[in-house]
Chains A and B, each alone.
Chain A
Amino acid sequence: MLIPCHDCDLLVKEPPVAEGDTAVCPRCGALLRKRRRDSIERSLALTVAGVFLFVVASSFPFLTFDMQGNEVETTLASGSFDLFAQGQPAVGALVLLTTMVAPIARLSLMLYVLAPLHLGFRVRGMVPAFRWVGIASGWSMMEVFLIGVLVSLVKLADMADIIPGIAIWAFALLIPTLAAMSSVLDPQEVWDQLEAQP
């Protein structure tokens, strides 16, 4: 089958790609196709793990600030709401979008598409849902937030004691889970299965 490369438009003959292999454009090196073993089952398993970890990471105490006996307890989302309260709605909305809305959308839409595919039935709107998975992934920036947590801990080390909560451990596990989820996902496999209506 002839496919135009999405980065340089060269017409490329797609060779058979074995499981675990990746096809790249001979002219510009763009990734054309990757095939992963049991892609749907594995990414579904990691999505379920990701949902569980996200629920823990966002509902339990994240970090606690202790300065001379005065304690402030935070959760994952409290920072963006505090920004709204301080009169910085633009920054608050950006943080809320990239650390809450986009990750929730990404995980729940993945579940919405992959679970029925795995179990062998169809639900309404799977095609637009999977399109939105791609868009939500681009705006989900949990791994960047983790670096932000590290920098903040250093900045506050002189000022007060910082007590890590349960949520931060779940969060630290969530980052590699999400990375593995997108690494084992073969979007073409999902699109092919969505197209082959039973």
Chain B
Amino acid sequence: MSAPRTGASEGLLVCHECEAVTKRPAVAIARGLHDFECPRCGAALHARKPNSLARTWALVIAATICYVPANLYPIMAITSLGKTQADTILSGVFFLIHHDMWPLALVVFVASFVVPLAKIVSIVFLLVSVQIDSHWRPADRTRLYRITEAVGRWSLVDIYVVTILVALVKLGSLASVEARAGAVFFGAVVILTMLAAESFDPRLIWTPIDTAARESTPTRADAHPGASHVRTAPSS
């Protein structure tokens, strides 16, 4: 088997915004941070996202730090008939369980507690696996990356609940809801993990594998490129 031909080995770059394919010019024109611009849409083009590992580490560490106060501090305080009760993310889940709203409790628990934690853990796992040049199940790691990127938004559910309650319950001392510090940290966790997933470059997972294949078998000029699979949609 010959080494797989990749965009990097052939000097071809794919635009991450419009997916246009561009041949890397012989002399790259350095324009600030990026190599050059996509001729079709003007987005910055690079073989790999710039400083992907350092940026992702910085964002995921910041998210981990914010995760602690996000869960320890109350995200809101509900005042009803003179009594004030502060709710953290988890006490909100217990409230729903006590009211026998199991499905909703599960939704909130997964979206607000499990998803942010799982995102942090999987981004750290991906970063470490890339840094030790791991060859372990690259396709599964790429899939993990895509899931991590897709689920992040659902964590904002609790922020929206606070917002809706703040808007609705506005009767002064009779009944009112106030957002608390936990909400700020929790919002920060969601944003930071979203940005961390975006700054990670999944192609880095494949770099050690392609490099090893190229070192064992030099690329032949007539090597066949892989043909993409066509997935037929269920008839609609």
Contacts and interface: CB of A to CB of B under 8 A. Distances in A.
Query: Do these two chains really belong together in a complex?
Result: yes
Interface of A: 1-15, 17-18, 20-30, 32-33, 63, 65, 67-68, 70, 72, 74, 78-80, 82-83, 86, 88, 90-91, 94-95, 98-99, 127-128, 130-131, 134, 141, 144-145, 147-152, 154-156, 158-160, 162, 187-188, 191, 194-195
A156 B169 contact: yes
A101 to B, nearest CB: 14
Given A147-B157, A151-B157, A22 B233 contact: yes
B111 interface: yes
Nearest to A4: B7
Q: Max chain A CB contacts within 10 Å: which of B101, B107, B230? A: B230
Contacts of A8: 138, 142, 202-203, 205-206
Interface string B104-139: 100110010000000000000000000000000011
Interface residues of B, number: 77
B233 A20 contact: yes
Given A70-B174, A94-B187, A187-B19, 5 more contacts: A3-B12, A7-B142, A18-B230, A145-B160, A147-B154
Contacts of A160: 169, 175
B146 A11 contact: no
Contacts of A94: 156, 159, 187, 191
B157 A13 contact: no
For chain A, what secondary structure do more than half of its interface residues adopt (helix, strand, loop), or is it mixed?
mixed
Interface in B152-210: 153-154, 156-171, 174-175, 178-179, 183-184, 187-188, 191, 202-203, 205-206, 210
A141 B21 CA distance: 30
A9 B171 contact: no
B226 A26 contact: yes
A168 to B, nearest CB: 11
A6 B18 contact: no
Contact of A65 (B5, B154, B168, B232): B168
